[in-house]
Amino acid sequence: MTSDHGYPAVRMYIAGEWCQGGTGRTAPIVNPATEEAIGEVPLATTDDLDRALAGAAEGFRAWRDTPVARRTALLHAAADLLTERSAEVGRIMTLEQGKPLAEATGEARRVADTLRWHADDARRAYGRIIPSAPGTLLSVRREPIGPVAAFVPWNFPAGGPMRKISSALCAGCSIIIKASEETPATAAALVGCFVDAGLPAGALNLVFGEPAEVSAHLIASPVTRLIAFTGSVPVGKLLAAAAGEVMKPSLMELGGHAPVIVCADADPARAARRAAQAKFANAGQVCTSPSRFLVHERLVEDFTAEFVKAAEAVVVGDGLAEGTTMGPLANERRLQAVQRLTADAVSRGATVRTGGERLDRAGYFFAPTVLTDVPADADLLHEEPFGPLAPIVPFGDLDEALTTANALPYGLAAYGFTESAATAEHLVRELEAGILSVNHCGGSVSEAPSGGVKESGYGREGGPEALDAYLITKRVSHLLA
């Protein structure tokens, strides 16, 4: 069933059944481009969560014991369904999250590719035989860790859930995923592809609810064996601490505040165009979004002029409208946060070179914004903006810029622009980050790992490293005689 807006009715998927949840409690889903409620998301009760836990325990045994070739074939079938449905998934995503339709549809297609990549990689989760004494077989095996509890946010409504679902299922784990209550229909559409491909009941469960209640219950349960979270640093610390209480491993993909260092020998206009394109993608609501622009003082005016030009060329509007290149912020909290960060910077002496304001219309729209003269103590230079704000700060000495870049507790992404291979290597060695790009702002790809250092978290998603958290290692010594 769909609403007037063409937005589907949202249900949870627990132990092989689509359901509304025990008490019928719901929360509204808002289209951020219009501020209108477009649907309702069901909220799980403790009983619903207990059914999901029991389902995941059973689903784990069924899925783990499914031959790997069959698992791979089924996951490829789910990926094919998602590719077929990508236009519809993209439309739902734009309605509930706001990003332009082309970005949303592209995300749906990309995550189908992520699933295919992991499905194939799972066939190579090899153990090894270790030379030992005659008559003794010493081996190392890698086995699925067990049922996973995963929590994902709203900025990539398909990408967030798929990273966790694909890693868990490919490793042979079952999973209970609590997707964002703000973007639930995209997650449900993804789950629908696995269900229609024939996944055994319980292998994949989708719930929504009060985030703190759901995470407390699922983390404390002895059924779950891995906690996987994507979101903010403060929530990540809470969940990691709760997992630590019961000695459960966790995978933490947290926020960042990515520095971009534009060295004296870089082409400032090219650097500005490439950095601006990454800055305004998904309205800046990306954990790896470039967010502190440290530019050599000789280049700073040319860089700023080109960056302002690129910001003013961004077409802000409803993601469903033709020609839109940046949608609204995904929720009112983000709008208020970017308004607060801008006002704080300006009150401390920053100059708004373009933007700086909410657009005068319904929806959580904020103009692409470039700020200069931002003092070092402005909140914007310390707090992850997670929005379309670009503070540009000049530097004279590269080591000074590196010290500034590394000064924050974050360590997710970092970017450098230089014509010199030696300077590039220096940046790559010195920048404290898990994801580095030189002379562009590279996005994530299925075949390479993403993840942070310092307070940006631990563990990696993507690439062969993605399976590490989802597999345990067993040493087996077998005396044959």
State the residues that interact with ligand NAD by CB under 6 A.
151, 153-155, 180, 211-212, 215, 230-232, 234-235, 238-239, 253-255, 287, 333, 384, 386
In this complex, which beta carbon is closest to ligand NAD, that of residue 234 or of residue 244?
A: 234
Residue 417 has, within 13 A of its CA and on its CB side, a CA count of 26
* Alpha-carbon gap, residue 208 to 186, rounded angstroms: 13
* Alpha-carbon gap, residue 375 to 245, rounded angstroms: 41
Q: What is the CA radius of gyration of the chain?
A: 23
In this complex, which beta carbon is closest to ligand NAD, that of residue 151 or of residue 194?
A: 151
Give the Å distances, CA to CA, from 282 to 72, 100, 181, 335.
32, 8, 19, 14
Q: Are 165 and 199 a contacting pair, CB within 8 Å?
A: no
Q: How far is the CB of 223 from ligand NAD (least distance, A)?
A: 17
Q: How far is the CB of 49 from ligand NAD (least distance, A)?
A: 13
Q: How far is the CB of 231 from ligand NAD (least distance, A)?
A: 3
In this complex, which beta carbon is closest to ligand NAD, that of residue 231 or of residue 356?
A: 231
**β-strand partners of 479:** 136
Q: How far is the CB of 239 from ligand NAD (least distance, A)?
A: 6
Q: How far is the CB of 271 from ligand NAD (least distance, A)?
A: 25
The type of residue at 161 is P
Catalytic residue among 287, 384, 432, 455: 287
441 annotated active-site: no
In this complex, which beta carbon is closest to ligand NAD, that of residue 267 or of residue 384?
A: 384
* Alpha-carbon gap, residue 135 to 173, rounded angstroms: 33
Catalytic residue among 103, 107, 181, 253: 253
253 annotated active-site: yes
Q: Are 436 and 414 a contacting pair, CB within 8 Å?
A: yes
In this complex, which beta carbon is closest to ligand NAD, that of residue 77 or of residue 216?
A: 216
DSSP for 453-481? SGGGEES-BSSGGGGGGGEEEEEEEEE--
* Alpha-carbon gap, residue 252 to 228, rounded angstroms: 6
Residues forming the active site: 253, 287
